[in-house]
Amino acid sequence: MNIADKGRLYREILRVLRPDGRPALHEILTGPVSPIYLPVPWARCPELNHLRPPEDVRELLEATGFE
């Protein structure tokens, strides 16, 4: 929710993950109402909100190297 550079986050997770390891993620995603109604618990303004739609997160994880 608060991490703008999710690609960097996922690359770092992949880097430190054991070769046979599996990540467990709890990623809050955007839904059909966008933009979301602010403020929310993690962001008072749009600049602090870094939610993405499910399709974007899936593509980013695959581009990072996750299967």
List pLDDT tens digits, range 4-55: 999 999 999 999 999 999 999 898 898 887 778 888 888 888 888 888 999 9
Q: Which domain holds residue 18?
A: 6-64
Q: Is 1 inside any structural domain?
A: no
Q: For the whole model, what pTM was predicted?
A: 0.81
* pLDDT tens profile 44-67: 888 888 889 999 999 999 999 998
Chain position carrying tokens 């602090």:
48
CA atoms of 39 and 60, how far apart (whole Å): 26
Q: Is 11 inside any structural domain?
A: yes
How would you write 28-63 as a 3-class SS string? CCCCCCCCCCCCECCECCHHHCCCCCHHHHHHHHHH
Per the structure, the count of domains in the chain is: 1
Q: Is 25 inside any structural domain?
A: yes
Q: Is 16 inside any structural domain?
A: yes
Q: Is 27 inside any structural domain?
A: yes
